[in-house]
């Protein structure tokens, strides 16, 4: 691909858009699963015609939110060893 098109480096500060097949490996999902999550509004994306388009920076933010929520949920569900009876 040429520089500056989908998946290429930014042109003048514009972040290129990735299609679902290009974006899927970054979030370790099958591209159809990624599209389904985008359709439900769970992952930030836009639809242009039949194609779903993603910004890598927004996918990175999505992953950060998922990691933080998983850490928080795990900590809330894990009993504190001091609280356990011997």
Tokens representing 37?
A: 């999550």
Q: Report yes or no on 83 lying in a domain.
A: no
Q: Report yes or no on 6 lying in a domain.
A: no
Q: Report yes or no on 82 lying in a domain.
A: no
Distance in angstroms (rounded) separating the CA atoms of residues 74 and 76: 5
Q: What is the pLDDT of residue 71?
A: 74
pLDDT tens, position by position, 25-59: 999 999 999 999 999 999 999 999 999 999 999 99
List the CATH number of the domain containing 59.
1.10.1660
Q: Report yes or no on 85 lying in a domain.
A: no
Q: Report yes or no on 81 lying in a domain.
A: no
Number of domains in the chain: 1
Q: Report yes or no on 63 lying in a domain.
A: yes
User: pTM of whole model > 0.85?
Assistant: no
Q: Report yes or no on 11 lying in a domain.
A: no
Domain around 48: 17-76
Q: Report yes or no on 55 lying in a domain.
A: yes
Tokens representing 43?
A: 């992952």
**Nearest 5°: CA angle at 68, between 62 and 7?**
25
């Amino acid at each position: 691909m040429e520089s500056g098109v989908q998946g290429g480096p930014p042109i003048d500060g514009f972040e290129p858009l990735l299609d679902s097949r290009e974006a899927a490996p970054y979030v370790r999902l099958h591209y159809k699963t990624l599209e389904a999550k985008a359709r439900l509004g769970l992952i930030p994306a836009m639809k242009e015609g039949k194609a779903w388009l993603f910004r890598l920076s927004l996918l990175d933010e999505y992953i950060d939110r998922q990691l933080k929520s998983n850490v928080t949920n795990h900590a809330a569900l894990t009993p504190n060893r001091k609280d356990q009876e011997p």
